[in-house]
Each structure stands twice: as structure tokens, then as C-alpha cells.
Amino acid sequence: MRKTLKYFLIAAILIFSLAIRLYKIDTNLPHLYWHDENNSVETALRFSAGNLRPQTFQHGMLLSLTLAGEYAAYYGIRFFTGIYHSPTDLLKEYLMNPTNFYLISRITTSLFGIASILLIYSICLKLYNNRTALLASLFFSLSFLPFVMSKWTKEDPLSVFFLLSALLMCAHLLRRCDDGKDPKIRFYNLAGLFVGLASAAKYYSFFGIVFIFLTHLYIYRAGIQRGKRMNFLLYCFDIKLIMSGLFFIIGFAAGNIYAVIDPRFFYTDVTTMSGQLFYPEAASWTRYFTDHLKDAMGSGLLEILALISSIFFIMKRSKKEMLLLSYPEVMYLFYMKYTGFAHYMIPVVPFMCIITAAFFNVILTKTPRRGMRYFAAGIIIIALVPSLLNILRYNALTSRPDTRTIASAWIEKNVPENATILSEGHISTAPVHVPQLRGNMDTLKRDLSLVLSSGGGGTLIREEMNLAQTDRRQKRYDIYRMTTLDAVQIGTVNADYVILTGFHDMDVAQMEYHKGRDFYSKRKAACDKLEEEYILIKEFVPFPRLSFFFPIFLIGDLKKMESIDPFKSQEQLLQGPDIKIYFRKNLIKQENV
């Protein structure tokens, strides 16, 4: 293949991948409906102010540290151009309109997603050839869940980028080994550093140390075959491998600096998270094949091709492919007894894409007939079309309004200022599953007390309190925030209005686990009391109804989304949960009197 054509094809893949990721990347802004995004951005703002204590270690710190550096640069630009005069101005902009902060964070993750495609291309050039590199890049660029995660503020693209960077260093080592050259210690050091940074973004990237160790063993085996005398036990404690481990620790510590400062907080938070998310389930070991890997890759046929390719190379016992399969195998062995989410498979996807591309390369090399090329091209197209259609469907859905945004506008138009509202769907003080409304001073005082009691500093809330006293342009309400509706609070708060989110009526089994085994019965009792004392005055219904984890997909979500025709008018599409707004019955009687 001519160089010009080669560069044109990879450039086309990268440009198309960037275009589909940046399309409507400002969806829902300035409204914020995903707690993971909110957590990453507000933690980054805290870091940029000098407070390195994260809200939680349930997410690695690396993404927030990266964003903190970008926000510091953003502040510097606006300060030197005269837009900002003090750090308080940055907080005011975030509170009044956080759009720019979330555009920066979303574009950052998109660029890491695109850079990962380029890394896959570079890895395949080192291990295989240009045909394999182009195919693997194409497969990954159209894999569904890596695309989804690249559109939001999420640490997955960051961890995949550094994991692939480590794999590229291992590819350099294997290439030098095949060429009869001695391994360079800098590749070991960089591989360890990159796995450490990947782990600081997403903890399960820690398994990347497996392919570093396997690379080391393959170099040992090659040395023995060339007649070198090498003690295996001593080789396992070779200085190069020890330095790689040391650089892994440096990378993880640099990306998770507060874990070094307060290791007890880190240990407690991470072990608590493990108890919440990972619990045994009989069908889990098959679910990663029947649902999660298929959803992650975006196509059942592409998953089947990946599994066939894996079996082929396992039987062949090929050095490079066994190295590539080591990470997916260890990931599966770790998760096979536990339920989980499809996006846990995202770091596995690039490895499976490379394996699949290598399999096609073997077939086309051994049977170079033109008919076989057409047949292989047809299979590839058929495998990729479903994922491409799902990408178009997802972009169509996320480009449409959200029920929560529409509900916010309706409330601000029809509900009087300072009305008392009992609203579920909050995570701490963040209105994640319900319309975002401005709280009045009473609300903000309750929010500040909650944040301080959980160990937070309350800087943003204090600045919001200052705005509440000076800025009268937006309506504010006396909001009682709660995670799920509670019958006791309905009776004690006596709110004028109650807001319910339909996300808490979906996936009851999943919700029962996360909220407690008696979640469903408690919610039914609360809804019964609500019907007694309140009347439904407005309802906003989404289409299609997806799970409460959207934009992350749970089992069944992708099938529901496939009802969308990406080539027809999308006027009927509405993302978000069902939103129901209730009004107190005795207040209606008083108004009638």
C-alpha cells in the first residue's frame, strides 16, 4: 500500500471518529444530569484551588487532575485578557453557566478517545503490518461503548489511552527482541509508568502489569533459544522488571496523589465501593459474553469474530496474540463471578479489535485471492454496520431535549418563587435525576450543612449563597432534596409541590440492591401516601425509556434504543426519565375558597 493512501485512510478514520464524538457534544448544557461528570469537574475545580482531597476515591483522581490543569490554563487566559479579575470570577462563571467547563472536559475525553485509535494503529504497525493496523483502528473507532464514553466526562478513555501507551512500549520491546536486539530499560520504565497512570484513572487497568510481565518472559524465552545462559528465577527479579514496577508505583501515586497523603481514606472508600458494585450472581460468567462484550463492541457479529479470533490464536499459541489476550483473560477471570456493567469491558475492546484484525490479516495473507478479499470486506461491513447505526441512534437521541430540562422551564414559568418543593433524585446536593432548580437561602443553608458534615469545604455553596443575595434574575425555591421518596418526609415537610423521577421506578431489582432489599416496598408506601395528599398536575414522558444509568447502558438499553430510526425525523425522541410534578390537594381547596 502506498504511503499516501495509508496516511489518507488513517486520517479519514480519525477525522470521522472525531466528528461523531464532537457532534452535539454540548447536549443538555448548562444543565447537568450525570453525577460522574459533576463529580469529576467539581473535584477538578477543588484541585485547581489547591485542595487535593477528592469527594470520593470511587473514581481515580487522574481525570480531575488533568482537568484541574486545563481549568488553571483557562483561568490564566481569561485573567490576562481582562475577563477575570480574581479566582472568585471563575467560580461565579461555573455557578451561573458551567457550559465552558463541561465543554473543556468532554472535548478532553474525546481527544483521548481519538488518540487511542492512533495508538492502536501504532501498536499494530510494530507487531503486524499496515493492513492489520487500519482494520484494528477501524474496528475500535466504530465500537459502540468506547464511542459513548468519549462523549462525556469519564475516566475510561483516559485509562484506555495510557493502557495502550504501555502496550506500545511492550510492542517496542518485542520488536527489538525479534530483531535480535537487547531490550531497552526505558521501554520497561515507560510501560510501568503508563500502567500506573492508567490505574490512577481506572483501577482495573492495574491488570496491565500482566502483559508487561509476559513481555519480559517472552524476551527470556528468546534469549534461551539464542543460546544465552539465563537463570529463570533471577530473571524474574531482573533490574528492568523491578524498575518497571517502581515506575508503576510512581505513575499511580502521581495520578492519585491524595491516596499517598491519606491512605486510610483511600482504602476505606475503595473497599466500600467494591462491596456496593460487585456481588455474586449465578449468570454473571456468561453475561460478559451474551451482553456486555456485545454491547461494548456494538455488534453481535463483531463480538463473534473477536471470540473466534481469540480461540484461533489460543490454539495456535502465537506469542504476540497470547500477549494481547492476557489482559482480557485476566479481566474476565476477575469479573466472571460478579455482576457488572457493560462499560467495564471498554479496556478489553481495543485488545479484541487488534486480535480480530490480526485474524483477518492471517486469512487474507494465506488466501490472497480477490474473491476472498471481497468476502472478508463484506463480513467486515456487515459486522460494523449495526454499531455504526447505534452510534447514529445515540447521537440522534442525545441531540434531543431532556425531560428534566423541559420540566425545569415549565416549573420556572408556572411555580411561584420560594415555593416549597420536595424533590427526589438527588445524589447529596446534586439534582441528577430531576429538574435542576435554583435553591433559595434556606435550601443553600441545608446544602452547606450536608456538605460540611460529609467532610467537604462548601466553597461552591458559599459562593452560590452570595449569588442568591445579589442576583435576582432567576427564580429560587425552597427545595428539600432527597435520594428517593420517603413517606415520613412527605408528612413532615408538607411541601407545596413534590417532584418524582421515573428512574426510580425502573430496574427494580438493580435499585433494590443499591438502595436496600426493602426499597420497592418503601417506595410503594411513599407513592401511596403521595396519592392521598397530592394531585398530579404535570407529567413529562421520554421516548425511549432507558435505565436510570443512562448515558451508561445497562442490559436491555441498547435493544430499546434500536427502536430509533436514525434516518427519519427525530421529533418524537425525548431523553431522560419520566418526571411527575404533584401539587398539595388542600392548597387547591384553599385557592378555590
Residue 91 inside a domain? The answer is no
Q: What is the pLDDT of residue 517?
A: 56
C-beta of residue 159 within 8 angstroms of C-beta of residue 198: yes
Nearest to 159 by CA among 206, 121, 114, 191: 206
**507 and 581 together in one domain:** yes
Domain end residue (candidates: 341, 372, 397) = 397
219 and 181 belong to one structural domain: yes
* 340 and 464, same domain (yes or no): no
Q: Cβ of 590: how many Cβ atoms within 10 Å? A: 9
Which letter does DSSP use for residue 292 in this model?
Answer: I
**Per-residue confidence (pLDDT) for residue 281, from 0 to 100:** 53
How would residue 586 be classed by pLDDT, with cut points 50, 70 and 90?
confident
Integer Cα distance of 286 and 126 in angstroms: 34
Residue where the block lists cell 420517603: 486
Same domain, 341 and 479: no
Mean pLDDT of 131-136: 96
Q: Please tell me the predicted confidence (pLDDT) of residue 522.
A: 79
Crossing angle of helices 185-201 and 62-80, rounded to 10°: 90
Residue 286's pLDDT is what?
A: 75
Q: Which three cell numbers stand for residue 507?
A: 430496574
422: β partners: 480, 498
pLDDT at position 356 is 96
pTM listed for this prediction:
0.91
**pLDDT of residue 593 exceeding 50:** no
Average pLDDT over residues 234-246: 86
- Percent of the chain scoring above 90 in pLDDT: 50
Q: Per-residue pLDDT averaged across 68-94, rounded?
A: 92
Q: Both 367 and 500 in a single domain?
A: no
Between CA 410 and CA 418, with CA 416 as vertex, the angle to 5 degrees is: 120
Q: Are strands 534-540 and 579-584 parallel, antiparallel or unpaired?
A: antiparallel
Check pLDDT > 80 for residue 411. yes
Dist CA 43 CA 53 (whole Å): 8
Arithmetic mean of pLDDT, 458-472:
85
Q: What angle do CA 354, 358, 359 make, to 5 degrees?
A: 120
Predicted confidence at residue 429, as pLDDT, reads 85
Question: How far is residue 61's CA from residue 58's CA, in Å, rounded to a whole number?
Answer: 9
Q: Which domain holds residue 306?
A: 3-71+102-261+286-397
How buried is residue 231: exposed, middle or buried, by Cβ count under 10 Å (0-12/13-18/19+)?
A: exposed
Under DSSP, is residue 24 helix (H, G, I), strand (E, B) or coil? coil
pLDDT for res 232: 67
Find the mean pLDDT for residues 528-547.
91
Check whether residue 298 and residue 369 sit in a common domain. Answer: yes
Q: How confident is the prediction for the chain on average, in pLDDT?
A: 87
- At residue 149, the pLDDT reads 92
In a domain, 76, yes or no: no
One domain, residues 387 and 486 = no
Q: Within this chain, do residues 297 and 427 fall inside the same structural domain, yes or no?
A: no
pLDDT at 405: 93
- Tell me the average pLDDT across 297-305: 91
The per-residue pLDDT for 509 is 40
Distances (CA, A) of 277 to 11, 60, 208, 335, 338: 39, 16, 22, 11, 9
How buried is residue 357: exposed, middle or buried, by Cβ count under 10 Å (0-12/13-18/19+)?
buried
Which residue has better confidence, 582 or 336?
582
For residue 577, cis peptide bond before it (omega within 30 degrees of 0): no
What pLDDT band is residue 511 in, cutting at 50, 70 and 90? very low
> What is the sign of the dihedral through the CA atoms of 583, 586, 589 and 593?
negative
Say what percent of the chain tops pLDDT 70: 91
**What local confidence, expressed as pLDDT, does residue 512 receive?**
44
- What is the structure's pLDDT at 33? 84
Residue that terminates a domain, selected from 397, 414, 436: 397
Report d(CA 480, CA 493) in Å as an integer: 8
DSSP code for 27: T
**pLDDT score at 262:** 87
State pLDDT tens for residues 416-441: 999 999 999 888 888 888 999 999 99
Residue 563 lies in a domain: no
* Cα 197 versus chain centre, distance: 16
Higher pLDDT pick, 152 / 523? 152
Q: Is the pLDDT of residue 537 over 90?
A: yes
Q: What is the dihedral of CA 156, 310, 189, 119, to 10 degrees?
A: -60
Whether 7 and 40 map to the same domain: the answer is yes
Would residue 456 count as lying in a domain? Answer: yes
Evaluate whether 380 touches 360 at the Cβ level (below 8 Å). Answer: yes
Lowest mean pLDDT: which of 138-147, 206-215, 562-571? 562-571
Give residues with Cβ within 8 angstroms of 101, minimum separation 6: 41, 45, 71, 74, 93, 94
Give pLDDT, residue 339.
60
| pLDDT of 366 strictly over 70 | yes
Regarding whether 477 and 339 lie in a shared domain, the answer is: no
587 and 447 in a common domain: yes
Same domain, 499 and 377: no
The top-scoring range by mean pLDDT among 225-229, 385-389, 517-521 is 385-389
The tens digit of pLDDT for each residue in 544-564 reads 888 777 777 776 788 888 888
Q: What ranges in 317-440 are assigned the alpha helix state H?
A: 319-335, 349-366, 370-398, 403-414
pLDDT tens digits, one per residue of 328-364? 998 888 776 666 677 888 999 999 999 999 999 999 8
In a domain, 155, yes or no: yes
* Distance in angstroms (rounded) separating the CA atoms of residues 366 and 416: 74
The answer to whether residue 572 sits within a structural domain is no
Please check whether residue 62 lies inside any domain of the structure: yes
Domain count of the fold of the chain: 2
How far, CA to CA in Å, does 132 sit from each of 121, 129, 368?
Answer: 8, 6, 15
Residues 6+ apart with CB under 8 A from 363: 372, 376
Local structure of residue 402 (DSSP, 8 states):
B
Cis before 542 (ω within 30) = no
> Are the C-beta atoms of residues 127 and 320 closer than 8 Å to each other?
yes
Indicate whether 592 pLDDT > 70: no
Cβ-contact 374, 344 below 8 angstroms: no
Q: Note whether residue 335 is domain-resident.
A: yes
Which three three-digit cell numbers place residue 285?
Answer: 460468567
- pLDDT at residue 556, rounded to an integer: 75
Domain boundary among 397, 417, 443: 397
